[in-house]
Structure 1
């Protein structure tokens, strides 16, 4: 993270890492398309409920939803077991948010975090003086609702850093005041999830269906403290990439695209894939030219 104030303005576009195997610089925000973020529908007191439903039961749920608020644009079952409901317009979205029972199931309908929470990052907050609770007490009059100090690893030991993530109840300001100092607030960009069991990108150990793997070589044998096998990329099982794992870069770009456009990760990946396809020149049908 840069600590320069001139580079920390929240109005600056988010940076996108480039997958050098597919060198595309996707736009993070499609201003020509009016996007409406989905509504998150959860079964009350039944975490992960929709993942356990049969297809016929899921269809019955969606049919009853359509009966209550008219057919919606799209419905997706999330990896955590909730359902993302994509409305056609804001009026339909408000109608969905008022629902508390669908297909005889008690549900909670709420906004996504990208709409209900606004997170920013400040850098250079002294470590020895203030813990998260004390920071929140000093910042709550600036509409800060949660404070999380980012940890770092030095020589394998975890310790607090000077980077602090702030959650606001409204769009965050350009600066916040703290102990007679002013800190520039920049947009928070989440990092891709990485499983601590199989070490692949995109999910956590709680929702992992793969066997445990060595975090160094990716072998299926139990993880060893001193693995003597050649280290490999844990996502593609090839040699380590000098520019970073393509899977990590692709997932990070999708996260930033999804957050900037208020769309799901599934839709973000589809759009970025379409952008890559449209920028790649198809091979000539006549083959290479003769020498």
Structure 2
């Protein structure tokens, strides 16, 4: 109801006004791929008129061999409807329509995003070292002026560039301003970071629990061994001296352990331990 009233408004106080919806809410843009080169832009527009296509533009790419930009097989479509179709047909061929997301606009003067050099009012910055100087940059260490990372300002992997690309895509999907989309993207990245951190904390917690479990098992084994040795020594003290040999003691402790169902003792290992601990006096 408010929208209808606003659209009818012609005067706001003493000012004459004209109200209209933003073009972004009334139209949409998409791309189709692998379209033959022989199809002209006018032919494609005419063939897709029933889908609400008002303009068709063949995109170009830079060919290193020819050292110039040449037409590609990708067509950018302009629709007069807010919700573009998922696919279109040209003749007997069906093409899937994907949302057109432009590349982030970057200034070649200050290297920041969102404007071009002709409208730049900032100081010049080197694309490689981010400092202000004339001529070719001779430094070996790259520093991004946007994120301070170890790469050039025009790198596709720059976190700031990736953020801008996500914001542009979100603005096209939700039909909102880039500023609003940027806030959403930053919020989503924060949530993703928190989620990843919580996942890491859970992994650390599980690892600690696993270690405690292992230590618990080791402590239980040590406790059992102490019980075995205590029982064994109690009986060995009263045994005839001629019977108290390394071999007999090892066998005896092994039998005690088996009888108590605690563990199996390796007699050879036990002999080795006894020899190793001869320096320890009671």
* Structure 1 length-normalised TM: 0.55
Match 2:3 to one of 89, 93, 100: 93
Q: Which residue of 1 aligns with 2:39?
A: 130
What is residue 64 of structure 1 aligned with on the other side?
none
Q: Deviations over 1:93-118 (max 9, x none)?
A: 33333334445445443323432112
Q: Kindly indicate whether the alpha-carbon contact (under 8 Å) linking 2:171 and 2:181 is maintained by their aligned counterparts in 1.
A: yes
Aligned counterpart in structure 2 of residue 153 of structure 1, from 57, 62, 80: 62
Cα drift, residue 158 of structure 1: 1.5
Query: 1:253 maps to what in 2?
Result: 166
Q: Structure 1: any 5+ residue segments left out of the alignment?
A: 1-90, 285-291
TM-aligned CA deviation for residue 253 of structure 1: 1.5
Pairwise CA distance, 1:209? 2.4
CA contact (8 A) 2:127 2:144 kept: no
Report the structure number with the largest CA radius of gyration.
2
Q: For the residues of structure 2 that align with 1:243 and 1:196, how far apart are their CA atoms?
A: 15
Q: Name 1:143's counterpart in structure 2.
A: 52
Aligned to 2:139: 229
1:203 aligns with 2:115: yes
Equivalent in the alignment of 1:49: none
Alignment of 1:240 with 2:182, yes or no, is: no
Give the number of equivalent residue pairs: 190
Equivalent residue, structure 1, for 2:74 = 163
- 1:270 aligned onto 2:180: no
Q: Deviations over 1:17-76 (max 9, x none)?
A: xxxxxxxxxxxxxxxxxxxxxxxxxxxxxxxxxxxxxxxxxxxxxxxxxxxxxxxxxxxx
Give the alignment's Cα RMSD to 1 decimal: 3.0
Deviates more, 1:206-215 or 1:154-163: 206-215
Tell me the CA shift for residue 250 of structure 1: 0.9
Q: Distance in 1 between matches of 2:77 and 2:183?
A: 30
Q: Tell me: CA distance 1:182–1:272, structure 2 relative to 1, closer, same or farther (3 Å).
A: closer
Structure 2: which 5+ runs fail to align?
Answer: 202-282
SS in 2 for 1:167: strand
Partner of 1:78: none
Judged with a 3 Å threshold, the aligned counterparts in structure 2 of structure 1 residues 107 and 165 are, in CA distance, closer, same or farther, namely farther
The separation in 1 between residues aligned to 2:114 and 2:86, in whole angstroms, is: 31
Q: Classify 1:227/1:183 alpha carbon distance in 2 versus 1 (closer, same or farther; 3 Å).
A: same
Q: Which has the higher contact order (CA 8 A, sep 6+)?
A: 1
Deviation at 1:161, TM superposition (A): 1.2
Structure number with the higher helix fraction is 2
**Structure-1 residue corresponding to 2:273:** none
Alignment match, 1:81: none
Structure (1/2) with the larger strand percentage: 1
Matched ranges for 1:40-119 at <5 A: 91-119=1-29
SS of residue paired to 1:190: coil
CA distance in 2, matches of 1:249, 1:123: 24
